Amino acid sequence: MLITDKKQADGYYQALLSRDPSYVGVFFVGVKTTSIFCIATCRARKPKRENVAFYTHFKDAMDAGFRPCKVCRPTENAHEAPYEVQAAMNLVRDCTKAKITDQQLRESGIRPIFVRRWFNQHYGMTFQTFQRMYRINYAFQELKTGKTATRTALDSGYDSLSGFGYTFKKLLGHAPTLNMETAVILIDRLTTPIGPMFVCATDQGICLLEFVDRRMLETEFEDLQRRLKAPIVAGENAHMKQLKLELEEYFLGERSEFSVPLHTPGTDFQNAVWTMLSSIPFGTTASYQEQATRLNNPKAIRAVARANGMNRIAIVIPCHRVIGKDGSLTGYAGGLERKRWLLDHEKNHCESLRKRKVSP
């Protein structure tokens, strides 16, 4: 939303001049003379007051025609976990067998209240829930190797089997002594040049990659859990690590294709459409009509469009490469400005990647 209150905008301008870190993510400033937008702590030369506009979300700035600043990288740094939060998350990941207490956080120079507030705002869960999910996921993997529930409970930092059993059942839907073949869906958060995203994966592969501000995201999580008959818990596996590496290379302009395994529950028609999407070459586009024709069903344009809309794995399954028959941009769950950014990014790097492939 554009900030129209003059007093509020003047306050934001002073925060911009002083590079106040407490305003990072609170506003995004668009510079009219350069068509760039920044966060409060940007080191670039400060614009005049009459040449700026303030927005409450980076997506609003992009919709207004501004592009991300290459100095402060607003779509990444406004949502990237601050040092204290990242340190707290590392403590959890490095110590999956015990609960991290507030005292341990303080001893590591981390403010517990700051971490709790950040998690509620950016993860949609409490820090304690994040911890419990990691510990239960670790316990689940231990139980699958044949370890007893009692031994696993004690090794996971629980004082009693009953407490462990209650938490395990609450998160995974069954007792720790039953259905150990049941799958789980792991979820983590990552940042990109066009905004933060959630990534989900099973043992089979990546099953979701969506921008955190995607409409109806909660409904999408519920549908995924229903289709896979598995709960979502915080964690990370090899597929997610591979995806993060490949995405980094993609955004650097060093990768045009993804090789990470995917897990795409859906109908045969939907999977046929998603496979067709993945065959659209990097740096090019196709229309819904062209997709339907390639599927030998030229009248199924609306069905193809619906299947595109049901794609849960953005960027990797490139639904952003689908445009209108007249060449216009069409609907994109991540927002049309993100779609435009992705198409421009691929167009700008297409030639260099092609030369790299054909070079001896």
Q: Residue 313: in which H helix or E strand, if any?
A: none
Let me know: does 322 contact 339? Beta carbons within 8 Å: no
* Distances in whole angstroms, Cα of residue 285 to Cα of each of 184, 195, 293, 301, 327: 35, 23, 15, 16, 9
**Sequence-ordered list of residues with C-beta below 8 angstroms from that of 356, at least 6 positions apart, any chain:** none
CA distance 42 to 18: 10
Pick from 29, 15, 17, 19: nearest CA to 58 = 29
Query: Considering just the CA atoms, what is the radius of gyration of the chain in Å?
Result: 23
CA distance 82 to 61: 23
Q: Which amino acid is at 198?
A: F
Pick from 264, 270, 269, 268: nearest CA to 206 = 264
Phi/psi for 312 (5° steps) reads -100, -5
Is 95 among the catalytic positions? no
Let me know: does 282 contact 346? Beta carbons within 8 Å: yes
Q: Which residue in the list 200, 207, 319, 350 is annotated as catalytic?
A: 319
CA distance 349 to 351: 6
Pick from 51, 62, 50, 55: nearest CA to 40 = 55
Let me know: does 331 contact 337? Beta carbons within 8 Å: no
Instruction: Give, in degrees to the nearest 5, the angle at Cα 194 between 189 and 199.
Output: 25
Q: State the alpha helices, DSSP H only, in 204-323.
A: 217-228, 238-251, 268-278, 288-294, 301-309
Show which residues are catalytic: 319
